Structure 1
Amino acid sequence: MPTPEPTVATNLPEQLVRLTRRMQRAQKRHMAHLDIAFTPAQSRLLRIVGHCRDTPPRMADLAERLEVVPRAVTTLVDALEANGAVRRVPDPANRRVVRIELTDTGRSTLHALRSARRAAAEEILAPLTADQREVLGGLLSTLVDGPGERR
């Protein structure tokens, strides 16, 4: 008995993985000239810290957002601090609490990462029409903001 032909729905997980990898490769290409060598986890931590405009996040906040153990955040922060992208600062209300804030280098790095991400997305989405992009954006929003997703 022949194996049934895969449908779009059965190929979807593989397509999503391939698209993610393609996006990461394109972003890396767009960053090649920048002399920036951050891991995806470090880049994500920078983005999270960059989104915290009012109060720098605590290490525990970062661990929760990254969905990792606190020790993993310490390792990420150590590496970013060594590169001059973030700094540890005491919380003014409780000096036992350490907060993480971006440095000027971190802000410029984050800007470069965002630019590379936008350029990579533009490259990948180039074959789509404006209407197709609108539909895709709506579908992705439904998936990202759907039930069960923590943010």
Structure 2
Amino acid sequence: MTSPDPDSLLAEQLLRLTRRVHRVQKRHLAQRELGVTPAQSRLLRTLAHYSSPPRMADLAERLEVVPRAVTTLVDGLEARGTVRRVPDPTNRRVTRIELTDDGRKTLGEVRAARRSAAEEILAPLTAGQREALGGLLDTLIDGAAVEHC
């Protein structure tokens, strides 16, 4: 019988951690009764990074999803009153997406939920271990960026 490949074991651990992070974040969002899914919270956080309202295509590219997925997320958030579609001032065929005042408030709650989820997940680690993990994750993330070039 052959022993498991160490890289495969690491990949499995990363996948399990990703699923755990998702579950914990989802629970923390639900505890705050925001009515926002993890995917919607990601869109809200992404919107906050733009200095002016982005196009849906910009959001899809930044989120690395198909445009239809962004439309579905925006529809749900718009129904909740956290985002709104606004016309592009220079091209009437283009629609942009902006946070509403309720959206900014919800974003603050989402960020608080993510912080509390991170605290729960990282609780077993010392400060030094957290720093080391951060460095390792940066290396893996940067490697993925180089891969896409």
Indicate whether the TM-score tops 0.5.
Answer: yes
Q: Give the match for residue 25 of structure 2.
A: 27
- TM-score, length of structure 2 as denominator length: 0.88
CA positional deviation for 1:112: 1.3
Change (3 A) 1:131 1:7: farther
Amino acid in the other structure paired with 1:12: L
Q: How many residues align?
A: 147
Q: Does 1:75 align with 2:47?
A: no
Q: Does 1:143 align with 2:137?
A: no
Deviation beyond 4 Å, 4+ runs, structure 1: none
CA positional deviation for 1:55: 1.0
- TM-score, length of structure 1 as denominator length: 0.87
Identity %: 69
Q: Does 1:3 align with 2:2?
A: yes
Counting only pairs closer than 5 Å after superposition, residues 1-150 of structure 1 correspond to structure 2 as 2-4=1-3, 6=4, 8-52=6-50, 54-146=51-143, 147-149=146-148
Amino acid in the other structure paired with 2:141: V
How many angstroms apart in 2 are the aligned matches of 1:149 and 1:120?
Answer: 30
Structure 1 unpaired stretches of 5+: none
Comparing 98-107 with 60-69, which one deviates more in the overlay? Answer: 60-69
Amino acid in the other structure paired with 2:135: G
CA offsets, 1:16-49, max 9 Å, x none?
1111121122222222332123233222211111
CA offsets, 1:53-112, max 9 Å, x none?
x21110110121122232222121111100111001112222222110001111111111
* Partner secondary structure for residue 68 of structure 1: coil
Is the 8 Å Cα contact of residues 29 and 37 (structure 2) preserved in structure 1?
no
Comparing 81-90 with 111-120, which one deviates more in the overlay? Answer: 111-120
Amino acid in the other structure paired with 1:139: L
How many angstroms apart in 1 are the aligned matches of 2:64 and 2:138?
Answer: 20
Change (3 A) 1:149 1:105: farther
Structure 2 unpaired stretches of 5+: none
